[in-house]
Structure 1
Amino acid sequence: MTDERNNKMDQSTDEKMVLRTVFLPASIDKLLKGIAFDENKSKSELIRQYISQGLEERSPS
């Protein structure tokens, strides 16, 4: 990774990151690509955001 990408990741969270590999349907990847472009974010950033939102919704209040 370039220093610029590492810095961007460092700014997004203070928490240590772990690498997970997932297979996505091509249609979902295409949607993510479009949203990432529109919001000027990486697909990884969006995936982390959507997973966090889903986990928050699932957690009992």
Structure 2
Amino acid sequence: MTAPTLPFDDLEKVYEHLATTLDALPEADESHFLAQLALALAHRVPDIDQVMAAIDEARQGATLDQA
């Protein structure tokens, strides 16, 4: 059984809101904001394996972006 996911349209809204928020922050604060966001979202997920998998997925995406 897989966990429910956001519909694509909602995911686009999240992306746009996140991008706008990051653009409004000083660059020096971006990492701290993203860490706080990750912890806030992780707090809402009742399964540590899903949280750890999301961290690994994001790390892989970041690695691919640098290639």
- Pick the structure with more helix per residue: 2
Which range, TM-score by smaller chain?
Answer: 0.3 to 0.5
Structure with the greater relative contact order (CA < 8 A, sep ≥ 6): 1 or 2? 1
Q: TM-score, normalised by structure 2?
A: 0.33
Q: TM-score, normalised by structure 1?
A: 0.35
